[in-house]
Amino acid sequence: MTTAQERQPEQHSFEADVSRLLHMMVHSVYSDKDVFLRELVSNAADACEKLRYESISEPRLSADGVAPGILVALDEEAMTLVVEDNGIGMSRNEMIDALGTIARSGTRAFMDRLNAAKGGEKAELIGQFGVGFYSSFMVANKVDVISRRAGQDGAWRWSSDGKGSYEIVAVDPIEAPTRGTRVVLHLMEDAKKYTGKWTVEKIIRDQSGHVPFPVRLIEKAGAEPSQVTDGAALWTKSKTEISKQDYDDFYRGVSGQYDEPLMNVHFKAEGRHEYTTLAFIPGSQPFDLFDVERKGRMKLYVKRVFITDEADLLPRYLRFVRGIVDTSDLPLNISREMIQESPVLSAIRKGVTGRVLSALEKLAESEQENFYKFWELFGAILKEGIYEDYERRSQLLKLARFRTTASGDATRSLAEYIGSMKEGQSSIYYISGSNLDQLNASPHLEGFRAKGIEVLLLTDSVDSFWPTNAGDFDEKSFKSITQGLTDLDEIAGADDSKNVPDAPHEVTAFIDFARDVLSQEVADVRVSSRLTDSAVCLVASEHGPDRQLEKILQGAGRLQSASKPILEVNAQSELVKGISSIAEATFREDAAWLLLDEARILDGDKPTDPRAFAGRQARLFKLAIGQPE
């Protein structure tokens, strides 16, 4: 029973983020306002799924036996559009939480992107991703939500004009649905078309044709409802009965993304385990792709009842895949906690993972352009599997594509790389860093370029991790070209005259001197076999992390102190020869330090002591100009 106090309307302010989102909705430049309806129908369908799920353990919740469904009612005279469901409903507190705050992290990420986007892009983003309940305010100047939680007596009305606050009040149960939620949109003058039967029916068919509950339409006050969609689960139909349009619509419903999927994987597994999967590779990156939680969103159904979207149906490195798995091998009343440990589910997970990867392999073979698109969008995520999924490592390496010194703007596979390896080459060479231009300009590449040896250019942050424990691929190991000694001399090159001749005596003497002077900063100074143009570069020692990985680990506070790098000197460089020929002690010392700082700068770092660096440079300038010290 409601108390007198509860019958008094109570005013609440929206959370700041909601106000911002609402402001964007109300002033939306988005021309395709139809999307509000798909959001309301999708919420109604979610509510029906929740009811079905909760009724398994608490049958009294749907004891009336009325099948869950969705009703859309139009009233031209009253200028209202109503979306009503007989799903789970909301209690007073649930309304405050669900409709006054933004809980989903994806929505938050969406808002940040939306704020950063310019006019036209904003509109596109709203179209591409679901923006939820608040999109109602694109077409309505007032929204009432009347709801009764399944199994409860009391009912509540939430209303707002979308301008900063909402009101909540207890309503007479007679005025509320016996169970579920009624959303009443008081339409703006220019949204009158949403009271028209044909318009609304078409929108529902186009946008919500595959929600798993029937949708009925009442075209005007007093009319009988007619069925618009039947609520049959698409995945139970056979592939031949399903059009691309059907698949795309279903994808949009299940993912909350409104782009076009790159491809789908639809199959029914029979045998030891029975389950059906309908999974999609999205056509754009979901907003939560780089969340630290790295959660997937595949939905688990048991005998067509939605159970959870937190069952980890795919490994983390496939978290971009959207879709469903429906199985009859699990009990309906399985608790969400039990699911994680279920051996049935781990068998299903393995099966679905295998199917998704082999579908990607097929795509790579037969539709290279689409595969390229896929790789640009999700390659960085898939590569996480190379060090997380030992069993499928070589399969993932086969799928991987790389920019290389030979790829130009395209990408190459490891098979292609191996196909053009030089005689005597036993490793797959790579260099990693944060951007392509910097990598391309790296002095470490010089010797490899001179010999025409291809090097992978790795720029994703995950690239700093997997090559060190990727093991072998096709019996070739991965080798960082910024680490250890190169074996360039053993590899036949395009131009063998480039093989490094012995260093002149003066240069070795200077190198010995520099090793002494710089002993606090570097582990060694030695003649380089990888440089042809630059005077110097820094490399990491043979064992331990390469330079890039070391920097990342240090940045993340996971490495106490970096190991000292090795300074390599190009003994054939005229500059180095010239420097070595000068005997003056101050000059030699300045030169040693300046060469080290130059190598640091080429590596994207700073001189460790900027004042000393500036002082040495000034002394050198004075020498050049001929000014006295």
Residues at the interface with Mg ion (CB under 5 A): 43, 132
Compare residues 251 and 371 and give the one whose CB is closer to ligand ADP: 251
Q: Please say whether the dihedral angle defined by the alpha carbons of residues 518, 521, 524 and 529, taken in this order, is positive or negative.
A: negative
Please answer whether residues 70 and 44 qualify as being in contact, where contact means their C-beta atoms are separated by less than 8 angstroms.
Answer: yes
Among 90, 184, 450, 592, binds ligand ADP (CB under 6 A): 90
Compare residues 85 and 248 and give the one whose CB is closer to ligand ADP: 85
Helix (H, G, I), strand (E, B) or coil at 331: coil
Provide the token pair at 455.
């090097």
> Which of ligand ADP, Mg ion, none does residue 302 bind to, with CB < 5 to 8 Å depending on kind?
none
> Which of Mg ion, ligand ADP, none does residue 253 bind to, with CB < 5 to 8 Å depending on kind?
none
Q: How far is the CB of 282 from ligand ADP (least distance, A)?
A: 16
Please answer whether residues 266 and 236 qualify as being in contact, where contact means their C-beta atoms are separated by less than 8 angstroms.
Answer: no
Q: Give the C-alpha separation, 467 to 599, whole Å.
A: 24
Cα 100 from chain centre: 27
Helix (H, G, I), strand (E, B) or coil at 340: coil
Among 22, 49, 52, 87, binds ligand ADP (CB under 6 A): 87
Verify binding: residue 18, ligand ADP, rule CB under 6 A.
Answer: no
Q: Give the C-alpha separation, 4 to 153, whole Å.
A: 16
First to last CA, the chain: 95
Helix (H, G, I), strand (E, B) or coil at 617: helix
Helix (H) or strand (E) holding 458: strand 456-458
Helix (H, G, I), strand (E, B) or coil at 22: helix
Q: Tell me the one-letter amino acid at 227.
A: Q
Provide the token pair at 309.
């979207």
Compare residues 177 and 447 and give the one whose CB is closer to ligand ADP: 177
> Which of Mg ion, ligand ADP, none does residue 90 bind to, with CB < 5 to 8 Å depending on kind?
ligand ADP
Verify binding: residue 181, ligand ADP, rule CB under 6 A.
Answer: yes
Q: How far is the CB of 135 from ligand ADP (least distance, A)?
A: 8
> Which of Mg ion, ligand ADP, none does residue 104 bind to, with CB < 5 to 8 Å depending on kind?
ligand ADP
Rg (CA), the chain: 32
Among 34, 49, 75, 85, binds ligand ADP (CB under 6 A): 85
- Site pattern 129..168 for ligand ADP (x: CB under 6 A): ---xx-----------------------------------
Q: Tell me the one-letter amino acid at 77.
A: E
Compare residues 132 and 177 and give the one whose CB is closer to Mg ion: 132
Give the full edge-to-edge strand order of the sheet including 536-539: 524-527, 566-569, 536-539
Cα 81 from chain centre: 36
> Which of Mg ion, ligand ADP, none does residue 421 bind to, with CB < 5 to 8 Å depending on kind?
none
> Which of Mg ion, ligand ADP, none does residue 85 bind to, with CB < 5 to 8 Å depending on kind?
ligand ADP
CB atoms within 10 A of CB 435: 10
Stretch that binds ligand ADP, among 80-88, 230-238, 337-345, 592-600 (CB under 6 A): 80-88
The footprint of ligand ADP on this chain (CB under 6 A) covers a number of residues equal to 15
Q: How far is the CB of 481 from ligand ADP (least distance, A)?
A: 47
Q: How far is the CB of 104 from Mg ion (least distance, A)?
A: 9
Q: Tell me the one-letter amino acid at 191.
A: A
Q: How far is the CB of 222 from Mg ion (least distance, A)?
A: 30
Compare residues 49 and 568 and give the one whose CB is closer to ligand ADP: 49
Residues 94-113 that bind ligand ADP (CB under 6 A): 98-99, 104
Please answer whether residues 462 and 544 qualify as being in contact, where contact means their C-beta atoms are separated by less than 8 angstroms.
Answer: no
Q: How far is the CB of 198 from ligand ADP (least distance, A)?
A: 25
Compare residues 43 and 459 and give the one whose CB is closer to Mg ion: 43
For the chain, what is the total number of helices (H) and then of strands (E)? 20, 23
**Which residue is nearest to ligand ADP, using beta carbons?**
132
Among 34, 39, 546, 590, binds ligand ADP (CB under 6 A): 39
- Per DSSP, 532 falls in state S
> Which of ligand ADP, Mg ion, none does residue 44 bind to, with CB < 5 to 8 Å depending on kind?
ligand ADP
CB atoms within 10 A of CB 629: 6
Residues contributing to the site for ligand ADP (CB under 6 A): 39, 43-44, 46-47, 85, 87-88, 90, 98-99, 104, 132-133, 181
